[in-house]
Protein backbone atom coordinates (compact mmCIF):
# COMPACT_ATOMS: atom_id res chain seq x y z
CA UNK A 1 0.00 0.00 0.00
CA UNK A 2 1.49 3.33 -0.96
CA UNK A 3 1.05 6.63 0.78
CA UNK A 4 -1.42 7.80 -1.88
CA UNK A 5 -3.72 4.84 -1.19
CA UNK A 6 -3.88 5.50 2.56
CA UNK A 7 -6.50 8.31 2.44
CA UNK A 8 -8.77 6.14 0.26
CA UNK A 9 -8.71 3.42 2.90
CA UNK A 10 -9.50 5.97 5.59
CA UNK A 11 -12.45 7.33 3.60
CA UNK A 12 -14.05 3.90 3.65
CA UNK A 13 -13.87 3.75 7.44
CA UNK A 14 -15.23 7.28 7.98
CA UNK A 15 -18.75 5.97 8.42
CA UNK A 16 -17.83 3.99 11.54
CA UNK A 17 -18.56 5.67 14.90
CA UNK A 18 -15.03 5.00 16.13
CA UNK A 19 -13.60 7.09 13.32
CA UNK A 20 -14.14 10.35 15.17
CA UNK A 21 -12.13 9.08 18.14
CA UNK A 22 -9.20 7.80 16.11
CA UNK A 23 -6.58 9.98 14.53
CA UNK A 24 -4.87 8.79 11.36
CA UNK A 25 -1.30 7.86 12.14
CA UNK A 26 1.60 9.62 10.54
CA UNK A 27 4.63 7.98 9.01
CA UNK A 28 7.16 6.29 11.25
CA UNK A 29 9.67 9.11 10.79
CA UNK A 30 7.22 11.72 12.06
CA UNK A 31 6.50 9.55 15.09
CA UNK A 32 10.19 9.46 15.94
CA UNK A 33 10.58 13.20 15.61
CA UNK A 34 7.54 13.91 17.76
CA UNK A 35 8.89 11.77 20.57
CA UNK A 36 9.82 13.72 23.69
CA UNK A 37 12.62 11.36 24.66
CA UNK A 38 16.07 11.98 23.36
CA UNK A 39 17.20 9.87 20.51
CA UNK A 40 20.21 7.63 20.91
CA UNK A 41 21.48 8.42 17.43
CA UNK A 42 21.52 12.21 17.78
CA UNK A 43 25.07 13.32 18.34
CA UNK A 44 24.64 17.08 18.55
CA UNK A 45 26.63 18.36 21.52
CA UNK A 46 24.57 20.12 24.15
CA UNK A 47 25.73 22.80 26.55
CA UNK A 48 25.60 22.33 30.29
CA UNK A 49 22.75 24.83 30.52
CA UNK A 50 20.66 22.76 28.10
CA UNK A 51 21.33 19.65 30.15
CA UNK A 52 20.89 21.04 33.66
CA UNK A 53 18.44 23.95 33.27
CA UNK A 54 15.38 22.06 34.52
CA UNK A 55 16.96 20.87 37.79
CA UNK A 56 18.43 24.35 38.36
CA UNK A 57 15.00 25.94 37.95
CA UNK A 58 13.41 23.34 40.25
CA UNK A 59 16.11 23.90 42.90
CA UNK A 60 15.69 27.68 42.64
CA UNK A 61 11.92 27.48 43.08
CA UNK A 62 12.36 25.04 45.97
CA UNK A 63 14.90 27.30 47.68
CA UNK A 64 12.67 30.36 47.29
CA UNK A 65 9.66 28.46 48.66
CA UNK A 66 11.73 27.12 51.57
CA UNK A 67 13.00 30.60 52.46
CA UNK A 68 9.48 32.00 52.22
CA UNK A 69 8.31 29.28 54.62
CA UNK A 70 11.14 30.09 57.03
CA UNK A 71 10.25 33.78 56.94
CA UNK A 72 6.53 33.17 57.53
CA UNK A 73 7.22 30.70 60.35
CA UNK A 74 9.62 33.11 62.05
CA UNK A 75 7.11 35.91 61.62
CA UNK A 76 4.42 33.80 63.30
CA UNK A 77 6.55 33.18 66.39
CA UNK A 78 8.27 36.57 66.69
CA UNK A 79 5.61 39.14 65.87
CA UNK A 80 2.83 40.34 68.12
CA UNK A 81 -0.24 39.96 65.93
CA UNK A 82 -3.79 38.95 66.75
CA UNK A 83 -4.53 35.30 67.47
CA UNK A 84 -6.21 34.53 64.14
CA UNK A 85 -3.32 35.87 62.08
CA UNK A 86 -0.77 33.96 64.16
CA UNK A 87 -2.81 30.75 63.80
CA UNK A 88 -2.95 31.18 60.00
CA UNK A 89 0.79 31.94 59.81
CA UNK A 90 1.56 28.88 61.95
CA UNK A 91 -0.35 26.71 59.45
CA UNK A 92 0.96 28.28 56.24
CA UNK A 93 4.61 28.58 57.31
CA UNK A 94 5.32 24.86 57.81
CA UNK A 95 3.37 24.05 54.64
CA UNK A 96 5.70 26.27 52.60
CA UNK A 97 8.67 24.82 54.48
CA UNK A 98 7.74 21.26 53.53
CA UNK A 99 6.86 22.10 49.91
CA UNK A 100 10.09 24.04 49.46
CA UNK A 101 12.20 21.31 51.00
CA UNK A 102 10.52 18.63 48.89
CA UNK A 103 11.04 20.62 45.68
CA UNK A 104 14.65 21.42 46.56
CA UNK A 105 15.43 17.75 47.26
CA UNK A 106 13.81 16.70 43.97
CA UNK A 107 16.08 19.08 42.09
CA UNK A 108 19.14 17.93 44.01
CA UNK A 109 18.39 14.26 43.29
CA UNK A 110 17.76 15.00 39.61
CA UNK A 111 21.37 16.17 39.02
CA UNK A 112 23.11 12.80 39.73
CA UNK A 113 20.47 11.03 37.65
CA UNK A 114 21.30 13.26 34.68
CA UNK A 115 25.04 12.70 35.21
CA UNK A 116 24.55 8.92 35.23
CA UNK A 117 22.41 9.16 32.09
CA UNK A 118 25.11 11.20 30.34
CA UNK A 119 27.76 8.59 31.25
CA UNK A 120 25.57 5.79 29.90
CA UNK A 121 24.95 7.73 26.69
CA UNK A 122 28.68 8.34 26.29
CA UNK A 123 29.41 4.62 26.79
CA UNK A 124 26.65 3.71 24.35
CA UNK A 125 28.03 5.95 21.61
CA UNK A 126 31.55 4.62 22.28
CA UNK A 127 30.42 0.99 21.90
CA UNK A 128 28.38 1.84 18.80
CA UNK A 129 31.41 3.45 17.17
CA UNK A 130 33.59 0.49 18.21
CA UNK A 131 31.05 -1.94 16.76
CA UNK A 132 30.88 0.09 13.54
CA UNK A 133 34.71 0.10 13.31
CA UNK A 134 35.08 -3.63 13.91
CA UNK A 135 32.28 -4.71 11.57
CA UNK A 136 33.28 -2.48 8.67
CA UNK A 137 36.93 -3.47 8.31
pLDDT digits (tens, 9 = 90+) for 101-132: 999 999 999 999 999 998 888 888 777 777 77
pLDDT above 70 covers what percent of the chain? 68
**Is residue 78 within 8 Å of 114, Cβ to Cβ?**
no
Distance CA 24, CA 21 (A): 10
**48-78 and 83-135 are packed helices; what angle lies between their axes, rounded to 10 degrees?**
160
Of 19-23, 46-50, 103-107, 109-113, the range with the lowest mean pLDDT is 19-23
Structure pTM?
0.59
Task: For the chain, give every domain's residue range.
Answer: 49-111
Taken in order 69, 71, 76, 82, the sign of the CA dihedral is: negative
Average pLDDT for residues 66-81, to the nearest whole number?
A: 93
Distance CA 66, CA 101 (A): 6
Amino acid sequence: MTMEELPKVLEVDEKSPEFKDLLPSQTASSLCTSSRSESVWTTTPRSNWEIYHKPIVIMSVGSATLLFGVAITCLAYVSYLDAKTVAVLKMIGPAFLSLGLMTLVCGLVWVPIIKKKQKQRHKSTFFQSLKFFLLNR
